[in-house]
Chains A and B, each alone.
Chain A
Amino acid sequence: MLIRGAGTKMDWGRTPAAIDVILSTRRMNRLLAHQHGDLTATAEAGATLAGMNRTLAEHRQWLPLDPPFADRATIGGILATNDSGPLRHRFGTPRDLVIGVELVTTDGALAKAGGRVVKNVAGYDLSKLVAGSFGSLAAIVSATFKLAPLPAASKTLVIEASDFDALGRIVGAMMASQLEPLAFEIHVPDVVGAELGPPSRAGQRRPLRSSLQLRFASVAAACDAQIAQACALAPLTDCATETLQGDEEREAWETHARRIWDAPGALVRASWLPATVSAAMSELRRMAGSACIQLAGRAAIGAGLIRIDADVRAQAAVVEQLRQSALFGNVVVVRGSPDLKALVDVWGPQGDRDQVFASVKRALDPDGVLNAGRGPL
């Protein structure tokens, strides 16, 4: 059995052997409660994040998540995949915001864990166990989240880095500063292998450069003050910067969210230690070979998506190199052709966690019914 919300991630995971039943949450799409005074809300699994946030905005609140396909993706799918976007920098992933969950297990029992209050340590926090389970342990019926107030104002600083050393210096300086951005993104464009190599001769088009996007959201005066402080940091003084607001700002973030998904090729999720970003990106360039490689991710967290556009063998070679690299970890194929999935495992090695995953899976889904072998367990 597969559990399906809006179907934005149907091609994720291993290729399933067989699917007998698809359980759609489409009709379970209500926002069950918005306790605005308590900054909490409960939604059914099939409610969309976007729809939920439109209602929450009536009280100037939001569930601060911005995973891919945020316009269509459902609460159940976002929690089950623990998926997130740039807002992770401030607010974390769904597991950091979920405070209660209602589940149905394969024996038909309806059970809950957590509750409706933000502070609660009664019983096991099973909402964490389903976060990242990809629907392999139980079906999510509804979930309760803590919310945040919508920021009063927002401005974004875009910084162009001349090379990976500069990129590393900027990330280091930002992390060591007392600035508190809402989001802090890094983007390494897709021509990295070809055009960030030797200096370009006259007449060639200017190489695309790596860039950073910092969004400050607070009272207006604090947005301005922090952007001024950021621009005064030593590694930034000789960088090209641009400050965006209003429609321009919104477009910049929409473009950033979309660009890696819109372009062709395989997409893999990977992590690195944030202070190693310069070395990690240089290594990524070396791995690329003839492949086009693009990266978009969270600069201070060290997590993002890498797009590999090449023939399937070259894609598989990059995935294997990423898995062998000491600088990258937790390399998971998110979007890949069946051919790629036949060459490399989608999830990669699980280490000694495997024994725990196996026993939890046996305990909750003894017949292995859920998620039809797509993984991760």
Chain B
Amino acid sequence: MNPVFLAELRHVLGAGAVLQDPLELITYECDALPHLRSVPAAVVLPSSAAEVQAIVRLCAREKVPFVARGHGTGLSGGALPVSGCVVIALSRLNRILSVDIPNQRVTVEPGVTNLEITRQVAPFGYYYAPDPSSQQVCSIGGNVAENSGGAHCLKYGFTTHHVLAVEAVLPNGEMAHIGGSLVDTPGPDLVGLIVGSEGTLAIVTSITVRVLRRPETVQTLLAAFDTIDAGGLAVSDIIGSGIIPAAVEMMDALAIQAAEAAVHPGFPKSDTILIVELDGPAAEVTALFDVVQGICRRSGATTIEVAQNDEQRARIWKGRKAAFAAMGRVSPNYYVQDGVVPRTQLPQVLNRIRQLEARSGLRIGNVFHAGDGNLHPLICYDERVAGEADKAVEVAAEILSYCIEAGGSLTGEHGIGADKSAYMPQMFTPDDLALMQRVRAAFDPQRLCNPGKIFPAPRLCGEVPGPYRQHPVEEAGLAERL
């Protein structure tokens, strides 16, 4: 890396905020998708929006690619460095800039965690609605990049529905104030474009979100079923009766077994469990909760447990939210997939996954947001067994193809990132992708802002999608990944 450029970075940020020691850089070689790794040329730790702007200006001038990073919890390699890049780690931009309870708005810097926003407003009876499972540690800047959802987005929507404004550094180093505390900024909805653009259009340096009043009542139940079809029928009937629950989650036998081994939530031993949560005005929740219980019974629920207090509700959610990590209790390795199908296609797609499980010989646990058809198959494998890791990747890819064939999506909440960019042509035509690329080029004509994400790159000959493995040509030092 150009020493003059590095000296300028140190001049702007101070020597302590520019990391170059190979051991320190390794910390930033991947996010929470550890099989994709690439060590950046440098990592910078700005403390203000002005510093971010100065860094981006330097990168734009020197044509050095840059990758913004929050707290590194992303599951699609959205913060994966590229060769020769500067990682702009935003962890020091962690101030709460304003808390305006009467207007139900909070403005924060991107390094603030998702849950910290709720902590700020909880004493007043408010909360920030999007609740990804990683909410204790993930950054709000990362949520903006990925348009994060969570278990409760069926009723409350995603990050894009709760962000009112962002201050952003554009890839040319100019600052833009997009959206506003006052709604209805005239013109195209740039907030909606930037939220979910996976850090490829701008780096946000402050974010204004809307916070919600806590609902008057919350009721949660756990219903057990002998078959996944029976649970699926219950979900269809709940939605069909005009009820939009705050959350509808399903887990299959393997996921239940794993959660039980890890956090002992006391889930009934069964093939399928369904978690349904209703919230809202007391009179509404009371009436509709009876309807939901009736539907579960008619659909063949073997047991129905109603959480009697917050503690019991927390136990149910602990079992659900621990399900991914818990797979480590039942399998040496596992691969989390994220795909979406129209909700009515769930039974059909789950059957195909069952057949695939039998055919591949790999166990597949299923944890999913049943209300919105967002599947999270957990593919178990043992990397010590030759060929199993590859097989897991193939199985994960096949499940995605089922999602697309059913009219769904490659990703519901984890993002395309570096992980799934090769699959984009399955979902989008060349014209679709070309239009998105034109929008990208309008923001970033030099292609410096988080390159290598979302869009399928021309790949090296003989390369297969999936976890990164060094191509023989790269290994031999004959080519490098850009």
Residue numbers of A with Cβ under 8 A of B are 35, 37-40, 60, 82, 92, 95-96, 103, 105, 109-113, 115-133, 136-137, 148-150, 152, 172, 175-180, 218-219, 221-222, 224-226, 269, 271-276, 301-303, 328-330, 332, 347-348, 350-353, 355-357, 359-360, 362-364, 376-377
Closest 4 CB pairs of A and B: A128-B192, A149-B242, A275-B102, A222-B284
| 13 A-B contact pairs sorted by A residue (CB < 8 Å) | A113-B432, A115-B409, A121-B414, A122-B411, A133-B187, A222-B284, A225-B283, A226-B283, A274-B103, A301-B183, A352-B176, A356-B443, A363-B441
Contact B242 A38 (CB under 8 A): no
Q: Which residue of B lies closest to A269 (CB)?
A: B184
Does B300 count as interface, using CB distance less than 8 angstroms? no
Task: Determine whether the beta carbon of A330 is less than 8 Å from that of B236.
Answer: no
A126/B439 contact (C-beta < 8 A), A115-B408, A131-B189, A353-B190 known: yes
Interface residues of B in 267-295 (CB under 8 A from A): 280-284, 287-288
A176 vs B282: C-alpha distance in the bound complex, in angstroms?
16
Using a CB–CB cutoff of 8 Å, the interface residues on chain B facing chain A are: 100, 102-104, 125, 146-147, 149, 153-154, 157-158, 160-161, 170, 174-178, 180-193, 195-197, 213-216, 236, 239-240, 242-244, 280-284, 287-288, 340-344, 369, 372-374, 407-416, 420, 424, 427-429, 431-436, 438-443, 454
Verify B188–A131 contact, CB threshold 8 A. yes
Within the assembled complex, what's the spacing in Å between the Cα atoms of A301 and B210?
A: 10
Most chain A beta-carbon contacts within 10 A, residue among B242, B280, B374, B412: B242
Residues of B within 8 A of A127 (CB): 192
Q: Which of A92, A96, A356 is B190 in contact with, Cβ under 8 Å?
A: A356
When chains A and B are docked, how far (Å) is the Cα of A363 from the Cα of B454?
Answer: 19
- The answer to whether A176 touches B424, judged by C-beta atoms less than 8 angstroms apart, is no
Q: Are B407 and A117 in contact (CB under 8 A)?
A: yes
Neighbouring B residues of A132 by C-beta, 8 Å: 186-189
Alpha-carbon distance A332/B436, docked complex (angstroms): 29
* Chain A residues, CB < 8 A from B154: 118
- Report how far A219 CA is from B286 CA in the complex, Å: 10
Quote the shortest CB–CB distance from B169 to chain A (angstroms). Answer: 11
- Name which residue of chain B comes closest to A362, CB basis: B442
Known: A37-B239, A329-B182, A377-B187. A111 touches B442 (CB 8 A): no
Least CB distance, A20 to chain B, in whole angstroms: 24
Contact of B196 with A121 in the complex, beta carbons under 8 Å: yes
Bound CA span A130–B242, Å: 30
Contact A121 B412 (CB under 8 A): yes
CA distance A124 to B200 in the complex (A): 10
Q: Which of B181, B216, B432, B441 has the most CB of A within 10 A?
A: B432
Neighbour of A352 across the interface among B174, B288, B429, B454, CB < 8 A? B174
Specify which of B176, B283, B407, B427 is in contact with A219 (CB 8 Å cutoff).
B283
Q: How far is the CA of A364 from the CA of B435 in the complex (A)?
A: 8
Q: Is the CB of A219 within 8 A of B287?
A: yes
Q: Is A131 a contact of B192 with CB atoms below 8 Å?
A: yes
Residues of A within 8 A of B441 (CB): 363
Q: Tell me which residues across on chain A come within 8 A of B236, comparing CB atoms.
A: 37
Q: A96-B161, A115-B409, A117-B412 are in contact. List 18 more A-B contacts (CB 8 A).
A: A37-B344, A115-B407, A117-B340, A117-B373, A119-B372, A129-B190, A133-B187, A152-B242, A218-B281, A219-B287, A222-B287, A224-B283, A225-B283, A226-B281, A303-B183, A355-B176, A364-B438, A377-B188
Q: How many A-B residue pairs have CB under 8 A?
A: 268
A273 CA to B191 CA, complexed, in Å: 19
> Closest B-chain residue to A225, C-beta based?
B283
Contact A123 B432 (CB under 8 A): yes
Closest Cβ neighbor of A150 among chain B residues? B242
CA distance A271 to B183 in the complex (A): 6
Contacting residue for B429 out of A111, A128, A275, A303, CB 8 A: A111
Question: Are A38 and B343 interface neighbours, CB within 8 A?
Answer: yes
Chain A residues contacting B342 (CB-CB under 8 Å) are 35, 37-38, 40, 116-117
Q: Is the CB of A105 within 8 A of B176?
A: no
CA distance A122 to B426 in the complex (A): 11
- CA–CA, A90 to B53, complex, Å? 37
A123–B284 touching, CB < 8 Å = no
A115 to chain B, nearest CB (A): 5
Question: Taking A137-B188, A356-B443 as contacts, is the C-beta distance between A275 and B103 under 8 angstroms?
Answer: yes
Q: Are A124 and B436 in contact (CB under 8 A)?
A: yes
CB distance from A55 to the nearest CB of B (A): 17
Contact present for B343 and A128 (CB under 8 Å) = no
User: Which interface residue of A119, A129, A133, A222 has the most chain B CB atoms within 10 A?
Assistant: A119
- Evaluate whether A117 and B160 lie within 8 angstroms (CB atoms) in the complex, with A105-B435, A356-B190 already known: no
Among candidates B146, B185, B407, residue contacting A353 with C-beta atoms closer than 8 Å: B185
Contacts of A357 in B (CB 8 A): 187-188
Q: Per a CB cutoff under 8 Å, which of B175, B188, B454 touches A360? A: B188
Q: How far is the CA of A184 from the CA of B183 in the complex (A)?
A: 16
For B188, the chain A residues whose CB sits under 8 A away are 128-133, 136-137, 357, 360, 376-377
What is the CB-to-nearest-CB distance from A254 to chain B, in angstroms, rounded to a whole number?
24
Interchain nearest-CB distance for A373 vs B (Å): 15
B184 touches A125 (CB 8 A): no
Bound form: Cα–Cα A132–B192 in Å: 11
Interchain nearest-CB distance for A271 vs B (Å): 4
A103 to B438 Cα, complex, angstroms: 14
CA–CA, A271 and B191, complex, Å: 17
Query: Which residues does chain B contribute within 8 Å of A148, judged by CB atoms?
Result: 244
Which of B214, B427, B435, B443 contacts A103 (CB under 8 A)? B435
Expressed in whole angstroms, the Cα–Cα distance for A176 and B153 within the complex equals 22
Closest CB in chain B relative to A68 CB, distance in Å: 14
Residue on A nearest B181 in the bound complex, by CB: A273
Q: In the complex the two chains form, is A124's CB within 8 Å of B288's CB?
A: no
Q: B216 to A178, Cβ gap below 8 A?
A: yes
* Distance, CA A133 to CA B288, complexed state (A): 40
Set of chain A residues within 8 Å of B443, measured between Cβ atoms? 356, 359
Contact between B182 and A111 (Cβ–Cβ < 8 Å)?
Answer: no
Which one of A105, A121, A359 has the greatest number of beta carbons of chain B within 10 Å?
A121
Which residues of A sit under 8 angstroms from B190, Cβ to Cβ?
129, 353, 356
* Cα–Cα, bound, A354→B267 (Å): 55
A126-B436, A377-B187 as given contacts; A149 in contact with B196, CB under 8 Å: no
A273 to B208, CA, bound (A): 13
Whose C-beta in chain A lies nearest to the C-beta of B342? A38
Report how far A363 CA is from B280 CA in the complex, Å. Answer: 45
Q: How far is the CA of A131 from the CA of B184 in the complex (A)?
A: 11
User: Smallest Cβ distance from A331 to chain B, in angstroms?
Assistant: 9
In the complex formed, the residue of A with least CB distance to B179 is A353
The residue that B183 contacts in the complex, of A110, A152, A179, A330, with Cβ under 8 A, is A330
